[in-house]
A and B are shown apart, each in its own frame.
Chain A
């Protein structure tokens, strides 16, 4: 190899002589820090070379961190009341029978392919999901005023809805209840909205701070976006009564605020799909507009398949069509089109009368088991004479109970009784069984009794 002037040497020659220059010079131009090792060796970029050296480690997710700690604990009596996934009496995850059936159907159908779904997702799934949440006879559906797009479970539906609002709605603030699911503020902030809170939970009553809610929404700007948990509020389990919902609806409509419902527990809260959708349906019945994020994670046990839908109820079919076209522009640069598997399972179940009925039975069984755990825990605390009013345990609804325990009490229960829960005192009722209720009751009793 005879290095001639660079314009006529081969590319390899030029490259090798440049590499040689790098090796001999301690401060190679344009490369930070100097390359002291051979470029030919693979582990050759020096400290300070990465453009991401300044990236700090993010804090652990508080909810998922609970499970991490639980897994590390060797105690045989440990109890995981952290993450909100349903567990059976035996403490095992559950895949519904209808889901297994649907899975088999999909496998056995050799004609099925894995092509891309449209950007809006599986069309049949979208239609069935809208009927499920709004009611098959909903005027909004009959009038074609609803656009429904498949999204990645509740999270994805909230994010896509939030991004749409940030682009097309005149108000860029969303009011969310205090407290709310920890991921809500992050979802909406990254979507481009700013987040404000309205009062919701009253620690004194362990119930709804209804006055505070009305005041805060009453003083929120006209036209503000308002996030509402359709049922089974997460993390408190505290829901408005039907009468309170009616007042909330009137207030929101009178202030032309835009409701954005998060429906993650339809059917899972009371055991009745229709009852759990009543708040949403009353808003749709008044003819106004709203957004709804639907999740099948809990009520169909499809957690990891990420199945959900975003619906936007509009005034007219024409508007709904235009809105849908803009939703596609949000989705395409995010993930192009949604995953097919989970949506296919849901569609198979919802479209088949027998499977649908079987699903409602399995769903009610899950809801009933949770309600039973509530009663058992309440009875156990009463039997122990644990100080305080524990009726909120049976008044709250859904997967979670906001016990009212403080973080010291929680830490005590973790240390002495190996009970894992989030430090805000939230317990997942789904993690309890008849066998473990006594242990939890003992722990709560000890934690409360020792307090001074």
Chain B
């Protein structure tokens, strides 16, 4: 009633009975379709809504301790205590926290990297791994407008969204070999060879998401060589440094091989998992350039892309990272805590495989312990996944990806039994 009165009043003010007011106007957004739910985040939503006491969430990739609880690292708590009350909240520069970026580059390129000494790396703080990838995709579109990106099959679903929204044409390359549940190395190499010279290749530096399948060191060397021959641009998404093997140096091996081989690479780094800073959105995008002058130019252009997106990145997470990495004691504590997380996951892989074998599963589950990082590509079909969810209240993405971080000594038996039940007749 009030709305009609208002409509009438405003109609009178404008005269001519023109179209103002609740009754006569319709929405601009009538034709907006409801968007499909994000497949990964939708899993957690469904899990939260499930009242079953047996429910297990092996969906989203956030670390959980053996009680299934999220973890805030002690080094992070300490860093936050030091930071709170002491800092103002002024804008960071467009490129973010210089200190945080410096420390982050050391992790990826090596403590004594000559690229860092020679100031050849254009680097900016980014909104975690997603933001780093998106900034690079936008940069690629602007400065290599005729290029395309090759994305592995499968990959983290959001990779496709990122390069699509940046309007960079995408192609795929073979990666996962379903029969062996390992790497389809021969097909991967063929795709690298057959791609037009100078294509951009997205590589997972370690702990491939979603499969957990990584190339061996030898295989990385061959991939590097072939990419060099073809003049391709290697872009690394490194979301799990330290989290995969427990040793950040070891997890950076692929990147170091490419650097030795003289590639000009790009890297997206994230602290979401390895420092447990998920919601803080802390990461870094770096591009290795020919010299300092070019690095300055590239960095300035990256900033030009960040400015119309968010002006400058958030300060809090960056402060936490630079406090930790800038203090030898805190850094050492961090390295210990990262190893604890990685070891727990490796332990759960072993436990899951042993339980499945104990239950007498007719299938081979050695891929569980051969794969690395947070995720295990179980090999289950979408129908089997649906059954797991419906009958056993176990939540995971329909591609059969299990987040090992969600596995605990408390639920591994239940999980193994359920998986065995839905797969034993296949």
Cβ of A61 < 8 Å from any Cβ of B? yes
Roughly how many angstroms separate A341 CA and B164 CA in the complex, as a whole number? 29
Question: What are the residues of chain A within 8 A of B80 when measuring CB–CB?
Answer: 107
Chain B min CB distance to A148 (Å): 15
Other-chain residue from A12, A56, A325 in contact with B34 (beta carbon distance below 8 A) = A325
Q: How many residues of A contact B (CB 8 A)?
A: 106
In the complex, chain B residues 199-232 whose Cβ is within 8 Å of any chain A Cβ: 218-219, 221-222, 225, 228-231
Say yes or no for B422: interface residue by CB 8 A criterion: no
> Inside 8 A of A325's CB, which chain B residues have their CB?
34-35, 37
> Across the interface, which residues of B come within 8 angstroms of A56, CB to CB?
297, 301
Name the CB-closest residue of B to A116.
Answer: B278
The answer to whether the Cβ of B88 comes within 8 Å of any Cβ in the partner chain is yes
* Chain A 300-323 near chain B by CB (<8 Å), digits 1 or 0: 011111100000101110010111
A-B contact count (CB 8 A): 305
Say whether B298 faces chain A, with CB atoms less than 8 Å apart: yes
List the one stretch of A253-261, A273-281, A358-366, A391-399 in contact with chain B: A253-261
Instruction: Confirm or deny: A339 has a beta carbon within 8 angstroms of a beta carbon on chain B.
Output: yes
In contact, A337 and B35 (Cβ under 8 angstroms): no
The 8 Å CB contact of A304, one of B28, B161, B314, is B314
- The interface stretch among B10-18, B361-369, B387-395, B403-411 is B10-18
A 71-88 binary contact with B (CB < 8 Å = 1; else 0): 000000000000101000
Q: Is B281 an interface residue (CB 8 A)?
A: yes
Does B41 lie at the interface of the complex (its beta carbon under 8 Å from any beta carbon of A)? yes
Is residue B323 within 8 Å, beta carbon to beta carbon, of the partner chain?
no
A: which residues have CB within 8 A of B? 11-12, 14-15, 18-19, 29-32, 35, 39-45, 47, 49-58, 61, 64, 83, 85, 93-95, 99-100, 103-104, 106-107, 112-119, 139, 152-153, 155-156, 159, 168-170, 183, 186-187, 189-191, 250, 253-254, 256, 258, 285-289, 297, 301-306, 312, 314-316, 319, 321-323, 325-326, 328-330, 332-342
Residues of chain B having any CB pair with chain A under 8 Å: 2-3, 6-7, 10, 13-14, 18-22, 25-35, 37-38, 41, 60, 62, 70-72, 76, 80-81, 84-85, 88-94, 114-115, 118, 127-128, 130-131, 134, 143-144, 147, 158, 161-162, 164-165, 197-198, 218-219, 221-222, 225, 228-231, 233, 259-264, 272, 276-281, 287, 289-290, 294, 296-298, 300-301, 303-305, 307-317
30 A-B pairs in the complex with CB atoms less than 8 angstroms apart? A30-B197, A30-B229, A39-B262, A42-B115, A43-B115, A44-B261, A45-B263, A47-B290, A51-B147, A51-B233, A56-B297, A99-B89, A114-B278, A115-B278, A152-B310, A191-B308, A253-B10, A256-B19, A287-B22, A304-B314, A304-B315, A305-B315, A314-B27, A315-B27, A322-B32, A322-B34, A323-B32, A333-B158, A336-B128, A337-B279
Other 18 A-B pairs with CB < 8 A, given A47-B290, A339-B316: A42-B115, A44-B262, A45-B263, A49-B290, A50-B289, A51-B147, A52-B264, A52-B294, A54-B143, A55-B294, A99-B89, A114-B70, A114-B72, A114-B278, A117-B279, A315-B26, A332-B158, A336-B281
